[in-house]
Structures are given as structure tokens and as C-alpha cells.
């Protein structure tokens, strides 16, 4: 999977002459050519009513989408080095985008739907989760509340629309909209950025759509797009859509909006706090049976647990959270569960441990591990 | 285990609950389809394929007795690659391991009942543990499909089902290949615009009611196929006939129940797509071009994924050779297509237009507009059916856009090739392509065969001529498709009808930013180019063009767009600063040599 950051190759398509668009308005619904039968015309008129809903939706969501230009110093001069898309989430000019869109910028310029170009600054960021909060000083802006949608209630097959600036083709800031459906939920993807419980959808998104919003058909903000899976390495501008896009759900982001507004770090998620990395463990028939520990961070709650710490090779198959047992047959299930836990929660791990010498497997229980931040930076902070 | 409610019951409930033909209604309908289809879409692997990283095929549970349909390679356990990544060894086993998707995760052993490479399918039977509480996908009929029917594709695209639930994608039937002699069912192949990716093979393709209409084979990768980049689905009625000799045939492949609730939102849209295709169909033509021995092979340098990582290398590519698509725009035989289809123009020996009624007529290329990538053809035939154009006010972002073409010879299948999307944006210009008109952006899946075809509104009007902007850059399934809107191009179209070409204007010089990054400086002026002949010299600084001050051009690109858009033959007046002295030049613009 690759990120959707725009590359420098697109520089020369930008900054187009602001010519007013053709007047919009309702599609001509009532008048259809006489080449249709009466029955057919009834169907067409009903379809046109359906279409008007789409047009209204498009108007609403495009007005709230922005293009973000990432200017960097290249060879001594300030150049447009990349960027992506974003969404305005308050009347005060706060904008959500991806961290990888805003990353390393000397200057950030937001292009609004009405073609205004406004300087932006980074207010907060979630480095690992690939989210950045920007702010612009601009009046008369339309925004989408991040508090309305409940992405956890989405179902595969539900229609969604994505807005953004694929390949920076909409250089004036007017977002391009694409239509699709939810393909799946609870997707995990790792790498430099970590996406947990992300939404997979088939609305076309491409390099440049990064940080741009995904909406439901009532115009509620579902999240921000950040990644695609692609079955080939693309041409000059990188990979392109294969109908497999991933969105960071907005409910994850709103859990730490306050921290971002105040410029603080996002509180660590349970999977970061516990201090282990895992992969799916399969039995000899290929059935997923739990998660095998591949790394234990020294000094972490997992390593220092009593009576004994978690070891590399342990297979965790069940985790009790606040007394509730939850099976974790796959790494996806593990990360989806743990990434929802906050600091201070206690977990009990059900482990199958195989003795290296005797090859005998026994079940062990490590109870009441408290999820606390033991990273060195945090400890220093406490000491002061 | 009540989560496996019979799928049919779920669907009936959906029909009763959401009769409203609205966006909310349609999404509830497809969510029901997803809920019923996803749990019954399984992963099928050979038990000998130990490596959990091997994705395996997708499969479909057909009945509660544990019969599963997958692709012909589902039991493949050795699929080694040589240095260049080409498969070397294929061994098909007699057994398979079947895994249900999350959150179920149960694993079953299965035996091969019958393998049928002809339809790219394998029928498997679950043996151990005995099947219990299996979710199933109800049977449907592929013979009842038409171009425009919704298709929902579910499967383990990119291995999604290994960890979580398989992925769902929505599309429509884009093309239907009629069955050949000796083939059961009406259709040989269904082509879908839904996202079909590695790992989808063997998985279900269901209709808007969640009924099984076919099994995913692969996606069309052949650059010479008019169906390129579309998903290939084997129709269930063709598959069913191949398994008649199997014991328990009638319980494995029961006859689908007829009927479809007409109040469903999906049914309304499907019907509207069909009507639009029926209305536009007579105006869509196929175009074949004789270029002699031109093979269309070419190479580009780009990053490629190899077994040894991503490497930049020369890649051999193949241009699409036709048949192409065109649109009838007058009763007297004027046909509009994309000038992109006339590549290798000087090699073209003849152009033939294939009318929907099967007639093949020689065509004359009246003119090409290389600024807007249009070409006007003319055939000698009266009484053709032109497609009525949509007015500028009808081009509204969010409207449904149907990309249609008829890239076939001899009339081809009765229905056009079609994909469905919306107007995604009205771009000012795509790079330097559309300096004066708005290009329509659409996410309707386009391929080379649809280029030159029509982008059509749901009420059957011509929005524009389909265009792919450099598919090797933007990808063949990027959702980055365009149409050249005809509104605003009346002058150009009239020129083309009169047989006059329009080429982008060319000055014969280079442009550079001034010392402080501002202003435009002329460099590398070709002495024999139009600007050079007029007296422009390298180092001259632009003050104004046709009375527009230099600072009105925000970027160099804007200036290029302005000049190109004037067209070859137009007169340009430039005022320049030469070492502090103001000089004025007036000259006729040329066309780039060889364009």
C-alpha cells in the first residue's frame, strides 16, 4: 500500500486562470426528448429526482473540501513540492488532513472551493495515525462537523462519496467528487503510518486525494482518505486507484481533537502502550488461532508484567478488557481491539506458550496489566 | 449462530423496508446485499499451500450441504515464479481448505467434485468437519442480465479476507458477450465495471437482489481487447450447464426464483440505465482503422514491481488497435470521435464506420481538432440517428454520467459498452488540453475502447466525447476519465465539418521565469519558427500579449495555454522589453512541425 501524497511532478499543472464556471442549477428534469415512451419517461423522471439528491449532495460536500499545497525549499527556492486535500471542520477555520500531506512544509497554502488561497499553519498532529489539524484565517467558510457521523455503524454496500483533488487536476480548489460504496470495515494497515479500524471503499481516490473527506449520502463527514492499494506501480505520478481506498474514520479523530487543538500529542492507544508487536498465528490447517508476539519493548507493561512478562513467540488468543473476554484470532482483531483502549485500562492476556526444549505448549494467564506510558520521553517529562 | 439468517429472508425484508427510490433507499438495499453475500464468500486454498501469505482464491457457498464454487485454480498448490516472475509450475490438487471470513473464521476440508477450466470454475464439497450453519448465496439468473444491471463483486481483493471480511465493490454490467455455438445460457462472458483485483478470482458476482449471477474469473488485461480493465465474470447459467452431470445437481444449482420488486431504488436506476442505453444505442458506432503493418507497440520508462523490488525499467506497451467508438452527430452521416483514436495519422490507409445495424461504411476524416482531441468523420448515408446534445446548464457536478461506446465490428452485441459514474468536476483545463472549454471529469470507468464514445446523461443526452488523459500516467482504472463537452465548441465543430483542422498554436521558442521568479522571458528562439521569423530574440521579456499585460498570466503555463488555445494560423501580437526598449511584433502562429 502506498500513500497518496502528491509528487513534485504535478507542479506545472497548478495555478490556473480563474475563469467563472458555467452557471449551475438543477438539471433539466421535466423536458426529455420524445424518443421515449410514456412508461420510459416516468422512469427517467423518477431517476432524475434521484439524481437531484446526488447533485445537492455534491454541492454540499464540495463546498467543504479544500486543496492543500505543500511548499518546500528545494535548491534554495520555495517550490510547490506536493500536497493533497482536506476538509474544513469548523467556522474558525480548522481543517483536517493527513500528516503526510502537511509533513515537512515550509509553507502551507489552502485553496478553498471559492478559489481563495489562504496561508495555513499546523495546529496539531497525530504522527503515527497520519492526521494533521491545520488552521486558516478566513471568513465566510462552510464547514462539516466532525461530530455527526457514526462510522462504526456503517455497513458494506452503503453508498459514499469522496471529494478531493486527484493528481491536482482541479487546480482552482474546486474538489472532484467520486461515488462508491463501503467495501469493508476494520481494515488495518501498517508502515510509516498506522491505520486501525479504517474504512475500505471503492470510490475512486488517487494521489492528491490524501487528507480529503469521505462522506455518507446525507453529507455527514465519515473520515479522511489516506491510502490506496494498487495492483501496479503507476506511471510518472505514482500509483492509481484500483477501487481499493482506505479512510481514517472521523470517530477515531474526534477522540483526540481536544489534544490536537491545544497542540498536545494524541494520547497513546492501547496497542502502543502495551509494548508488543504481533502477527496472526495459524494452526497446521491454516486456521487463525491468535496472535504471535514478534517483539516485546523492554520496560513496557507487557515486558514487566507479573508474575512473568510476555515473551516473543507467545500466542495470545484472548484478551479480557474490564472483565469482558474478547477473542483475538487475527492481528487485525488484536489491533482493532487494542487501538480503542486508553491509558489506565487493565487487560488480562490469555497466552499459549511453547517451551523451546520440550516443545510442550501450556496455557498461561497474565492478569491485570495496566496500560501505562513507559516510553523514555514520557518518563523524562514526569521527572521534571 | 443466528448471524447466518437465510439470505433470501434478509432480502425480502429489505424490499419491504425500503421502497423509497432515494439515495438512502438505495444504500440500504446494497447494505442488505453486502450483509447476505459477505459471510458466504470464502477463501479457498490448497491444503498443500503452507505459506499463509499466499492469498488463495475466493469462493462461494452454494448450499447448506457444503457445496462451494471457486475458480479453476483454487486447488493450485505450486505456483512457482521464475526470475522474471512468470509462473513455471502448476499442480492442481484434489482437495482444498475452505475458510469462512471474519468473524467466523471456521476452516473446512473439501474435496474436488469437478474442475471445469472451460468456465474457470471448480466445484468443491465440504467434508470435514461436517457442514453446519453455513451461510449461502441464493441462486440467480445471468440470462436475465442486461447491460446496465447492477453487479456487486465480493472477494478477497489484495488478500483482505485473510484477516477480516472480504471486500465488496459495486459496478454495472458494462458488456455482455453473446454465447457461442454449443454454449449454454445467453452469454459467454459478463464484463463488470466493479473493482476486480488480485484475490477476487473465484468469488461471487451478485445482482442488486443479492442473487448469484456469476463467478469472477479475472480482469481483462489484454491491451487489444475492447473490454480492457473491466472485470471478467463467467455467467452462472453457463456454469450451471457444465455441472449437470454432477450428483445432487438440482440441489446444488436450484432454479432461481423469478420476480423482482419494482419499487426498489436499484431497480429504478437499472431500468433508467437500460432506457438511456436503448435511446443512445442507435447513435453509437464502431470505427476500424487500417494502418497497414503498424503494430502499435511502444516502450516507456517507468517504475515496475519485480520479485526483486521496484525498479525503473523500459516497459513494452501496446496501443489499442480498435475497434474504436464514435458518435453520430448528424442525420447526414457526420460522426464525431476522439482524434486520439487517429494516432499514427500519416499511416492511416482507410477508416471504416460500423453502424449498429451491421453495415460497414467507408469514412472520410473531414478534420481534426488537436486542441480538443476531436475528429469529425463523414459517411455517405442518410437517415442516421444523431444523439441530442446536453446544454451547458445540464452539465452539473453530481449528475449521473454514463460512458457509452460501440467498439465492435459488424454491429456487435445489441447493447453498447457502458459504464456508470457521476460528473465529478468541471475542470477548467486538463493541463494544456482544454484552454477554452471545461473538461468534464467523470469517475465512470473508461478504457481505450470507450474513448471517442459518448458521455450520456440519464435522460439520454450527449454531455461530451470520452477521453482518457494519458492512461499510462493516470492509470487505466484510475477513475480519472474526461469528456470533451461540445457546448462552447460550436465554432470548432463547424470548422471540422468544413474540413478544416485545428491545431494548437506553436511559437517556436522556450519560456523561462525572470530573474526574480516573476515575468516571462523568451529563450531558445528557433530562427525559422514563427516567433523567430517575426523577429523575437532570446532574452526578450514579455510585456503584453494581444493587449493582456504579462502580469495577468499568473504562471508560464497560463501563457502557454493562452497561446496554444488561439490555434495555428491565428495572429498574435506581442509587446516585449528588449534591453529596456519596448518592441511590438505581430505574427501568424504556426503548428509544431510533425504535429
DSSP character string of B235-272: EHHHHHHHTTTSTTHHHHSPPPP----TT-HHHHHHHH
**pLDDT on residue B473:** 53
Burial B388-426 (b: 16+ CB within 10 A, else e): bbbebebbbbbbbbbbbbbbbeebbeebbbbbbbbbbbb
Model confidence at A27: pLDDT above 80: no
Task: At A333, give phi and psi (nearest 5°).
Answer: -65, -40
Chain length of chain A? 384
Domains of chain B: 2-263 (2.40.10.120), 282-497 (2.40.10.120), 505-591 (2.30.42.10)
Q: Please tell me the CATH code under which domain A1-261 is placed.
A: 2.40.10.120
Residues 130-149 of A with CB under 8 A from B: none
B15-30 burial string, b = 16+ CB within 10 Å, else e? beebeebbbbbbbbbb
Strands (E), B490-568: 505-506, 510-513, 520-523, 541-545, 548-549
Q: Whole-angstrom Cα distance, residue B189 to residue A121?
A: 54
What is the predicted pLDDT for the residue at A30?
Answer: 41
Average pLDDT value for residue range A159-180 = 88
| Shared fold status for A1-261 and A270-380 | no
A76 reaches B (C-beta below 8 A): no
- Read off the pLDDT of residues A182-216 as tens digits, 9 standing for 90 and up: 999 999 888 889 999 999 999 999 888 999 999 99
What pLDDT score does A5 carry? Answer: 40
Mutation target among A2, A7, A9, A22 for the B interface, most CBs of B within 10 A? A22
Contacts of B569 (CB under 8 A, 6+ apart): B505, B588, B589
How far apart are alpha carbons B556 and B288 in whole angstroms? Answer: 40
C-alpha to C-alpha distance for A242 and A205, rounded to whole angstroms: 9
For chain B positions 20-59, those within 8 Å of chain A (CB to CB) are 21-24, 26-35, 38, 45, 47, 52
pTM, two decimals, is: 0.88
CB-side exposure of B378: number of CA atoms within 13 Å?
Answer: 12
**What's the CA angle centered on B181, arms B180 and B183, to 5 degrees?**
70
Instruction: Write out the catalytic residue numbers of A.
Output: 100, 130, 210
- The pLDDT of residue B16: 38
- Looking at residue A304, its pLDDT comes to 93
pLDDT of B105 reads 87
Residue A19: pLDDT band (50, 70, 90) is very low
What is the Rg, in whole angstroms, of the alpha carbon atoms belonging to chain B? 28
CA B250 to chain A, closest CA, distance in angstroms equals: 31
Q: Which of A90-94, A354-358, A374-378 tops mean pLDDT?
A: A90-94
Range with lowest mean pLDDT among A21-35, A64-78, B360-374: A21-35
Do residues A187 and A198 make contact, with C-beta atoms less than 8 angstroms apart?
yes
Contact residues, chain A, for B561 at CB < 8 Å: 16-17
Q: What pLDDT is attached to residue B9?
A: 40
More confident of the two residues A230 and A311: A311
Contact between chains at A235 and B422 (C-beta distance less than 8 A): no
3-state secondary structure of A239: coil
Q: How far apart are CA B81 and CA A48, in angstroms?
A: 52
Q: At residue A12, does pLDDT exceed 50?
A: no
- CATH code of the domain occupying A270-380: 2.30.42.10
In chain A, where the domains are located: 1-261, 270-380
Question: Is there a contact between A237 and A9 (Cβ–Cβ < 8 Å)?
Answer: yes
- Average pLDDT for A97-114: 94
Query: In the prediction, which pLDDT does B479 show?
Result: 67
What is the ipTM, given to two decimal places?
A: 0.87
Query: A69 has which bridge partners?
Result: A83, A109
The x, y and z cell numbers of residue B158, run together, are 489484495
Please give the pLDDT value at position A377.
Answer: 52
CB B157 within 8 A of CB B199: yes
Where is pLDDT greater, at B82 or A359?
A359
Q: Which residues pair with A66 in a beta bridge?
A: A86
Q: What is the mean pLDDT of each run of 10 residues along chain B (595 residues)?
A: 38 42 89 95 86 79 96 78 65 88 91 96 95 94 94 91 89 93 90 92 95 94 88 96 95 81 83 95 96 90 72 83 95 95 94 95 95 93 92 92 94 88 79 61 91 96 87 59 85 89 90 80 93 93 93 83 87 93 94 77
Task: Inspect the interface and report whether the beta carbons of B268 and A62 lie closer than 8 Å.
Answer: no
Give the pLDDT confidence score for residue B84 in this predicted structure.
67
Is residue B197 classed exposed, middle or buried when 0-12, 13-18 and 19+ CB atoms within 10 A define those classes?
buried
pLDDT in the model for residue B51: 66
The Cα–Cα gap between B533 and B520 comes to: 20
Q: Work out the minimum CA distance from B184 to partner chain A, whole angstroms.
A: 31
**CB of B465 within 8 A of CB of B324?**
no
- Cα–Cα dist A250/A267, whole Å: 16
Name the DSSP class of B458: T
Amino acid at each position: 500500500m502506498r500513500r497518496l501524497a502528491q509528487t513534485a511532478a504535478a507542479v506545472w499543472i497548478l495555478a490556473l486562470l480563474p475563469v467563472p464556471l458555467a452557471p449551475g442549477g438543477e438539471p433539466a428534469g421535466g423536458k426529455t426528448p420524445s424518443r421515449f415512451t410514456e412508461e420510459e419517461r416516468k422512469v427517467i423522471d423518477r431517476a432524475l429526482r434521484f439524481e437531484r439528491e446526488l447533485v445537492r449532495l455534491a454541492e454540499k460536500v464540495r463546498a467543504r473540501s479544500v486543496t492543500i499545497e505543500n511548499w518546500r525549499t528545494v535548491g534554495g527556492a520555495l517550490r510547490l513540492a506536493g500536497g493533497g486535500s482536506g476538509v474544513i471542520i469548523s467556522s474558525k477555520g480548522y481543517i483536517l488532513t493527513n500528516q503526510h500531506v502537511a509533513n515537512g512544509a515550509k509553507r502551507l497554502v489552502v485553496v478553498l472551493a471559492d478559489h481563495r488561497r489562504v496561508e495555513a499553519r499546523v495546529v496539531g498532529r497525530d504522527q503515527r495515525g497520519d492526521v494533521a489539524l491545520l488552521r486558516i484565517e478566513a471568513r465566510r467558510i462552510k464547514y462539516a462537523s466532525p461530530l455527526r457521523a457514526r462510522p462504526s455503524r456503517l455497513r458494506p454496500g452503503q453508498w459514499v462519496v469522496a471529494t478531493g483533488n486527484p493528481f491536482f487536476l482541479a487546480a482552482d480548489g474546486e474538489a472532484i467528487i467520486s461515488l462508491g460504496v463501503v467495501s469493508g470495515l476494520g481494515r488495518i494497515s501498517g508502515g510509516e503510518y498506522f491505520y486501525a479500524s479504517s474504512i475500505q471503499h471503492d470510490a475512486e481516490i488517487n494521489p492528491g486525494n490524501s487528507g480529503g473527506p469521505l462522506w455518507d449520502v446525507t453529507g455527514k463527514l465519515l473520515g479522511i482518505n489516506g491510502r490506496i492499494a494498487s495492483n501496479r506501480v503507476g506511471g510518472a505520478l505514482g500509483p492509481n486507484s484500483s477501487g481499493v481506498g482506505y479512510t481514517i474514520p472521523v470517530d477515531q479523530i474526534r477522540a483526540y481533537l481536544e489534544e490536537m487543538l491545544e497542540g498536545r500529542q494524541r494520547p497513546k492507544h492501547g496497542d502502543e502502550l502495551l509494548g508488543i508487536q504481533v502477527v496472526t498465528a495459524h494452526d497446521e490447517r491454516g486456521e487463525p488461532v491468535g496472535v504471535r508476539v514478534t517483539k516485546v519493548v523492554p520496560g513496557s507493561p507487557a515486558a514487566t508484567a507479573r508474575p512473568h512478562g510476555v515473551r516473543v513467540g507467545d500466542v495470545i488468543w484472548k484478551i479480557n478488557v474490564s472483565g469482558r473476554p474478547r477473542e483475538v484470532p487475527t492481528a487485525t482483531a488484536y489491533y482493532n481491539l487494542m487501538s480503542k483502549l486508553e491509558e489506565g485500562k487493565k487487560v488480562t492476556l490469555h497466552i499459549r506458550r511453547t517451551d523451546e526444549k520440550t516443545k510442550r505448549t501450556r496455557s498461561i494467564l497474565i492478569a491485570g496489566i495496566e496500560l501505562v506510558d513507559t516510553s523514555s520521553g514520557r518518563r523524562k517529562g514526569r521527572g521534571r | 449462530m443466528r448471524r447466518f439468517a437465510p439470505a433470501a429472508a434478509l432480502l425480502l425484508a429489505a424490499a419491504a423496508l425500503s421502497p423509497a427510490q432515494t439515495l438512502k433507499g438505495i444504500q440500504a438495499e446494497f447494505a442488505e446485499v453486502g450483509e447476505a453475500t459477505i459471510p458466504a464468500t470464502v477463501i479457498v486454498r490448497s491444503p498443500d499451500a503452507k505459506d499463509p501469505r499466499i492469498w488463495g482464491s475466493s469462493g462461494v457457498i452454494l448450499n447448506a450441504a457444503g457445496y462451494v464454487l471457486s475458480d479453476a485454480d483454487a486447488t493450485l498448490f505450486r505456483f512457482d515464479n521464475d526470475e522474471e516472475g512468470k509462473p513455471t509450475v502448476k499442480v492442481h490438487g484434489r482437495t482444498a481448505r475452505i475458510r469462512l471470513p471474519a468473524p467466523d473464521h471456521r476452516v473446512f476440508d473439501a474435496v474436488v467434485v469437478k474442475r471445469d477450466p472451460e468456465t474457470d470454475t471448480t466445484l468443491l464439497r465440504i467434508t470435514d468437519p461436517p457442514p453446519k450453519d453455513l451461510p449461502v448465496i441464493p441462486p440467480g439468473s445471468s440470462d436475465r442480465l442486461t447491460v446496465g444491471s447492477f453487479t456487486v463483486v465480493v472477494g478477497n481483493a489484495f488478500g483482505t479476507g485473510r484477516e477480516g471480511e472480504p471486500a465488496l465493490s459495486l459496478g454495472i454490467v458494462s458488456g455482455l458477450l453473446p454465447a457461442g455455438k454449443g454454449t449454454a445460457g445467453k452469454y459467454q462472458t459478463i464484463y463488470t465495471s466493479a473493482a476486480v483485483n488480485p484475490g477476487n478470482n473465484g468469488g461471487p458476482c451478485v445482482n442488486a437482489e443479492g442473487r448469484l449471477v456469476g463467478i469472477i474469473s479475472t480482469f481483462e488485461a489484454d491491451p487489444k481487447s475492447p473490454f480492457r480493465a473491466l472485470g471478467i465474470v463467467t455467467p452462472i447459467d453457463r456454469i450451471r450447464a457444465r455441472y449437470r452431470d454432477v450428483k445432487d445437481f438440482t440441489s446444488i444449482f436450484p432454479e432461481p426464483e423469478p420476480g423482482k420488486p419494482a419499487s426498489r431504488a436499484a431497480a429504478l436506476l437499472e431500468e433508467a440505465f437500460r432506457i438511456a442505453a436503448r435511446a443512445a444505442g442507435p447513435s453509437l458506432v464502431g470505427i476500424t482503422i487500417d494502418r497497414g503493418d503498424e503494430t502499435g507497440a511502444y516502450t516507456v520508462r517507468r517504475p515496475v514491481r519485480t520479485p526483486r523490488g521496484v525498479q525503473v525499467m523500459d516497459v513494452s506497451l501496446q496501443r489499442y488497435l480498435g475497434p474504436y467508438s464514435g458518435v453520430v452527430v448528424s442525420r447526414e452521416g457526420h460522426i464525431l470521435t476522439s482524434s486520439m483514436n487517429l494516432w499514427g495519422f500519416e499511416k492511416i490507409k482507410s477508416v471504416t464506420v460500423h453502424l449498429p445495424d451491421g453495415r460497414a461504411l467507408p469514412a472520410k476524416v473531414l478534420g481534426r481538432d488537436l486542441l480538443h482531441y476531436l475528429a469529425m468523420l463523414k459517411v455517405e448515408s442518410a437517415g442516421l440517428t444523431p444523439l441530442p446534445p446536453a446544454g451547458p446548464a445540464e452539465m452539473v457536478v453530481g449528475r449521473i454520467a454514463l460512458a457509452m461506446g460501440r467498439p465492435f465490428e459488424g454491429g456487435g452485441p445489441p447493447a453498447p459498452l457502458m459504464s456508470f459514474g457521476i460528473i465529478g468536476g468541471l475542470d477548467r483545463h486538463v493541463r494544456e488540453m482544454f484552454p477554452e472549454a471545461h473538461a468534464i471529469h467523470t469517475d465512470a470507468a473508461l478504457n481505450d475502447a470507450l474513448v471517442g464514445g459518448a458521455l450520456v446523461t440519464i435522460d439520454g443526452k450527449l454531455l461530451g466525447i470520452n477521453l482518457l488523459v494519458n492512461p499510462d500516467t493516470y492509470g487505466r482504472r484510475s477513475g480519472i476519465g474526461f469528456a470533451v463537452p461540445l457546448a462552447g465548441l460550436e465554432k470548432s465543430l463547424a470548422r471540422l465539418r468544413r474540413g478544416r483542422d485545428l491545431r494548437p498554436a506553436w511559437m517556436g521558442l522556450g519560456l523561462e521565469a525572470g530573474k526574480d521568479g516573476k515575468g516571462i522571458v523568451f529563450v531558445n528562439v528557433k530562427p525559422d519558427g514563427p516567433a523567430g521569423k517575426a523577429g523575437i530574440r532570446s532574452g526578450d521579456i514579455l510585456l503584453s500579449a494581444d493587449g493582456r499585460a504579462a502580469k495577468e498570466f499568473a504562471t508560464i503555463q497560463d501563457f502557454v495555454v493562452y497561446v496554444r488555445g488561439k490555434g495555428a494560423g491565428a495572429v498574435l501580437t506581442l509587446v516585449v522589453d528588449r534591453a529596456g526598449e519596448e518592441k511590438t511584433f505581430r505574427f501568424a502562429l504556426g503548428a509544431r512541425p510533425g504535429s
